[in-house]
Structure 1
Amino acid sequence: MDDLVGTQAPRRRLASSDEAVVELERAVPDLASHRRPAPQSVDWRRLEGELGTALPADYKLLCEHYPSFELSGFMRVSRPVPGKEVAWVHSAHEELETIAEWCEDADLDDPMYAYPTPGGLLPWATSNQGDFFLWSTSPAGPASWTVTVASRSGSWWHYSGGAVQFLADLVSGALEPWALPRVRPEITSVRP
């Protein structure tokens, strides 16, 4: 039986991508040691063209300044690799197939759908236990997208802030990790 646990909200939604990244570095102090001296150039125009939508600025900033990383041996935050943007989109499409199945099988009062359905869910991170961390897309644009967690256990929940702020709040304990283990402020793996 699937269950929508509810929605958690940040004290204040961070509108600035820079501010969100600073909060994440504050929550995960070791992250700053992995910051690139210069931003890495991802071909966002090509990636977003292939995907069919722009992506949130906070996520793009995170991807340009940091490698893919794993938090607490649990949560994997991957990024597109420059020159392999299309491969990232193909991977997202594969995950969308699973998400579409989960949405179809979920017994929720308000049905959810996978992207590209308007308002659909688009993956941005996963866990090593099969959980998905998704953007709830919106016609209002990526700056207004929020986060939905689809737990392998069948629990679904929302966070009314952006992805990078979600990471900071999850690690700092500012939000409850409903249906997830506690995520400690440690980087346990890094991939270029």
Structure 2
Amino acid sequence: MWVQRVIELTGWEPLGFSVDWAAIEGELGVPLPADYKELYEAFGGGVFSDSVYFLARDEGDSFDFLTQWRVSLSVDQDSTLGDVSAVDPCAIYAPGGKGLLEWGATEWADEYCWLIDAERPGDHPVLARSDGGAWHRYDMSTSEFLYRVLADPAFQPFGIAQYDLGTRFKPGSGRPL
């Protein structure tokens, strides 16, 4: 339902990517939310409303979900950088553990993640924060959160509808605009 609302809101024609979910989820060690997979297959990676970055599939690295996760995990686990995580007080999700897995962000330094716990597969609360501030937890689907960010001016502090930025989607670097 929420995926369809995002598609209708943006006027997007779903791309229908074929995705090897077994390989992706095998690398992560956990299943991803079903509605995220639908968004991924329909949109690929790119930008909503010229400001909301959606990580999924991208021929380049900018919006590629797995590439971004691998880089974040590598940095988070680099002991030469100290004990502080970029997502403090949490950590970046590592297979078999508990942590944050980013699926979106904004040009204003908002971050959108799932709190993943390998011992609770299928549980994907959305955690979001603005510019390194406190994390806000949302017990809703990825697509509902994204829809509310794009369309609900009262969805604060993350809604962008009040800025009248439109609701178009621009695919990532690997596809024609």
TM-score, normalised with respect to structure 2: 0.73
Aligned equivalent of 2:170: 189
Aligned equivalent of 1:71: 48
**TM-fit CA distance, 1:92:** 0.8
Q: Looking at both structures, which has the greater relative contact order when contacts are Cα pairs under 8 Å and sequence separation is at least 6?
A: 1
**TM-fit CA distance, 1:174:** 6.9
- Contact 2:152-2:159 at 8 Å conserved across structures: no
Aligned equivalent of 1:120: 99
Aligned equivalent of 1:134: 113
1:88 and 1:147, CA in 2 relative to 1: closer, same or farther beyond 3 A? closer
**TM-fit CA distance, 1:56:** 1.0
**TM-fit CA distance, 1:68:** 2.2
**TM-fit CA distance, 1:166:** 0.5
**TM-fit CA distance, 1:177:** 2.8
Seq. identity, % = 22
1-structure distance, mates of 2:91, 2:99: 5
- Contact 1:42-1:80 at 8 Å conserved across structures: no
Between Structure 1 and Structure 2, how many residues are aligned?
158
**TM-fit CA distance, 1:167:** 0.6
Aligned equivalent of 2:80: none
**TM-fit CA distance, 1:132:** 1.7
- Contact 1:50-1:89 at 8 Å conserved across structures: no
| Structure 1, unpaired ranges of 5+ | 1-18, 105-110
Aligned equivalent of 2:156: 177
**Equivalent residues in 2 for 1:49-128, closer than 5 Å:** 49-81=26-58, 88-96=65-73, 97=75, 101-104=85-88, 111-116=89-94, 118-128=97-107
The structure richer in helix per residue is: 1
1:175 and 1:163, CA in 2 relative to 1: closer, same or farther beyond 3 A? farther
What do residues 97-130 of structure 1 show as CA deviations (whole Å, max 9, x unaligned)? 36972333xxxxxx43321274411111122233
**Equivalent residues in 2 for 1:8-27, closer than 5 Å:** 19-26=1-8
1-structure distance, mates of 2:156, 2:76: 22
1:162 and 1:93, CA in 2 relative to 1: closer, same or farther beyond 3 A? same
| Structure 2, unpaired ranges of 5+ | 78-83
**TM-fit CA distance, 1:51:** 2.1
- Contact 2:103-2:114 at 8 Å conserved across structures: yes
1-structure distance, mates of 2:57, 2:36: 11
2-structure distance, mates of 1:129, 1:98: 22
What do residues 137-172 of structure 1 show as CA deviations (whole Å, max 9, x unaligned)? 243323x31100132242321111011110112222
